[in-house]
Amino acid sequence: MSKYDVIVLGSGPGGYVTAIRASQLGFKTAVIEKESLGGVCLNWGCIPTKALLKSAEVFNYLKHAEDYGLKVKEADKDFDAVVKRSRDVANGMSKGVQFLMKKNKIDVIEGFGKLLKGKKVEVAKDDQTTTYEADHIIVATGARSRELPNLPQDGEKVIGYRQAMTLKKQPKKMIVVGSGAIGVEFAHFYNAMGTEVTIVEYLPNLVPVEDIDVSKQFEKSFKKSGIKVMTNASVEKVDTSGNGVKATVKTKKGEEILDADIVLSAVGIKTNIENIGLEEVGIQVDKDKIQVNEWYQTNVPGYYAIGDVTPGQALAHVASAEGILCVEKIKGMKVEALDYGNIPGCTYASPEIASVGLTEKQAKEQGYEIKVGKFPFSASGKASASGKKDGFVKVIFDAKYGEWLGCHMIGAGVTDMIAEAVLGRKLETTGHEVLKAVHPHPTMSEAVMEATADAYDEVIHL
């Protein structure tokens, strides 16, 4: 029986990062993966979707070339080539993870891993099983597309995000159910490619976790781009017996039947915790999540869990941070528990959305007296020059001490800009310090300073 210091079950952005950090710290490390190194994020999520969205952005530029004083004759797309580019990008990244495993002398064990008692893992592949032992076993098996009982996925007419990335034929009409990050990113992509898209959201606003001002602006932008938006609505049933799909949508006005070629179900995720031995080992699970403490230890010594299978935010960068913290704690290093209140959230549709900290509503509900500032990109020189004037930056500060409570952005490139707010909040920056930190001109990032100036009644360009 092979013995390791650390075995990581799953090689997504949580698992492979955890394995690399463990190896850096001197642990003999192995990672178990049943499919492709890099997990869903790298192979079927974060990375390939961004490749699709980049193609959509370039296509939009071509279609609006005259806005920039350019002429392009009959701009068109090759849907198959767009999909192939996305897959090539993902495959290249997966090979990069393979290289990192070799570089860091991490053993990659292929197969389906199941936890056993006594700090062991059984790996099944091709009707054979092999057992491995480790002092520390870390579960990082991630999650998959969640299925609703009234919206079963057949992989052809009712699909999840995975099939949405590799459709052999572009649909003429698509219904997207759910307006979280996955739903709106695919809605934007297919709309940009020329598909007639309808998005159905159960709650009153699109991207409902965001600040209400962001949600309203986003819905306005989506409608302007030609996407049909149905909020306070739910898909009650689908009929796939014909050539396409007939979806019965319940709204406040009654039921409406929508015709489409494909329905994309984007109603959240389901953790991959079935059949991995949790019950046999006695690891505590609640509401589909493995229960862990602040160092990601389960209730059974020697077994840990990170990423989507735990109660924190289901985001790639969260999983990576949790894994690093977990193995550093195992090593005995002095570590600080992760601040889940300072995790940035990003949505890569057009316009992009990025946020961190409290929304205005949350800040008021928590009893803060606040200063709120907002700066529209329509007043930004860089945004005007770029032809990307939709959106704004909104900042929220505690009126008493100047604490940066929240930052909410919508517009071009804001997923890159949000890091300033994350770092500022980590360093306990005040509104006054943000205001007096000189921002370069002309840039989109100036809007952070200008929004802060607005909060303190010192705005110049508005």
Q: Which helix (H) or strand (E) is 279 found in, with range?
A: helix 278-281
Rounded to whole angstroms, how far apart are CA atoms 182 and 312?
18
Residues 249, 233: contact at Cβ < 8 Å?
yes
Angle between helices 181-193 and 46-63 (to 10 degrees): 40
Domain boundaries, the chain: 2-145+270-340, 170-267, 351-455
Task: Give the model's confidence band at 41: pLDDT under 50 very low, under 70 low, under 90 confident, else very high.
Answer: confident
Rounded to whole angstroms, how far apart are CA atoms 235 and 257?
9
What digits encode the pLDDT tens for the residues 147-170? 888 899 998 999 999 899 999 999
What digits encode the pLDDT tens for the residues 223-273? 999 999 999 999 999 999 989 999 999 999 999 999 999 999 999 899 999
Tell which CATH classification among 3.30.390.30, 3.40.640.10, 3.40.50.720, 3.40.50.1860 matches the domain 351-455: 3.30.390.30
The CATH fold assigned to 170-267 is FAD/NAD(P)-binding domain (3.50.50)
Question: What number of helices (H) and strands (E) belong to the chain?
Answer: 15, 24
DSSP E strand stretches across 73-227: 107-110, 112-116, 120-125, 128-139, 143-145, 158-159, 173-177, 196-200
| Dihedrals phi, psi of 374, to nearest 5 degrees | -145, 135
% of the chain surpassing 90 pLDDT:
90
DSSP E strand stretches across 111-223: 112-116, 120-125, 128-139, 143-145, 158-159, 173-177, 196-200
Is-same-fold flag (170-267; 351-455)? Answer: no
Residue 1 has pLDDT above 70, yes or no: no
Mean pLDDT calculated for residue range 132-154: 93
Rounded to whole angstroms, how far apart are CA atoms 325 and 21?
9
The sign of the CA dihedral 407, 410, 411, 414 is: positive
Q: Which long-range contacts link 68-75 to residues 24+ away (Cβ below 8 Å)?
A: 68/387
Q: How many residues belong to the chain? A: 462
Maximum alpha-carbon separation in the chain: 70
Round the average pLDDT of the chain to a whole number and report it: 95
Beta partners for 196?
173
Task: Give the model's confidence band at 42: pLDDT under 50 very low, under 70 low, under 90 confident, else very high.
Answer: confident
DSSP assignment of 230-251? E-S-EEEEEE-SSSSEEEEEEE
DSSP 3-state assignment of 268? Answer: coil
% of the chain surpassing 70 pLDDT:
100
Rounded to whole angstroms, how far apart are CA atoms 74 and 269?
40
Single out the catalytic residue among 64, 432, 441, 461: 441
The answer to whether domain 2-145+270-340 has CATH 3.40.50.720 is no
Residue 14 has pLDDT above 90, yes or no: yes
Residue 241 burial by Cβ neighbours in a 10 Å radius (0-12, 13-18, 19+): exposed
Specify whether 408 is catalytic.
Answer: no
